[in-house]
Amino acid sequence: MSMSTGERFAILGTLGGAALLAWQSAWPDWQRAETRQAQIVELERKVGEITQAEESLSAQTQRLSQARKQRDRECRSIPHTADVAGLMQALSLEVNGDVVRDQTFTVMDRPAEEAGRFQVLPLRVELDADFSSVWSVLERAEGLSRLVRVSGLEMSLVDQKHPIDGDQPLRASLTLDVVYAPPADGDSMP
């Protein structure tokens, strides 16, 4: 059975048409697959960058948390208000007429701006007491969790004309700078 030339051409034409039809239907899908593959590679790269950014953010958040803990351990807080009443309560001694004869707190002036956003309110503490009581007020100021600067201290004998041997009461005047940071416009208080 031999094929004639016409049959051969018909078979070759059919095979060529089938190949052309297969190529036309597969080519767009192949092109889309190439595009999708490029998109997959790009998305995998972005996911890798996001993962690295998340790891970096986690590490930076942990470092910030440690820095805040260290700041809280080593530094005094600066509140949003002067809270003179709370400060007076923290520094007050019991006036008993013997060891502590008198104690007075006076706000000396209006707050002054210092270092940009900080305010300083001068406060004077005057007391007639023995040395250990004056020292106690200084230690209480030092022990406060908030920032209070002792900017002046004057001491003298209450009765300089008639000094008494032993426990002569002192007249002490401590000047304190109460540091606070009022919130700026638009800031909210924590």
Express each pLDDT in 87-99 by its tens digit.
998 888 888 877 7
CB count within 10 Å of CB 168 equals 14
Question: 190 lies in a domain?
Answer: no
Report pLDDT for 174. 93
- pLDDT tens string 54-106: 999 999 999 999 998 898 888 888 888 888 889 998 888 888 877 788 888 98
d(CA 111, CA 180): 10
90 and 165 co-located in one domain: yes
User: Domain holding 156: CATH number?
Assistant: 3.30.70.60
Report pLDDT for 67. 92
Report pLDDT for 6. 78
71 and 89 co-located in one domain: no
53 and 124 co-located in one domain: no
Question: 105 lies in a domain?
Answer: yes
- What is the mean pLDDT, run by run of 10 residues, along the chain of 190 residues? 75 82 76 83 89 92 92 84 89 81 85 76 91 90 89 84 69 91 67
Which of 21, 52, 75 is at the close of a domain? 75
Q: How many domains does the chain have?
A: 2
Which of 12, 44, 75 is at the close of a domain? 75
**Which residues span the domain enclosing 49?**
1-75
The pTM assigned to this predicted structure is: 0.59
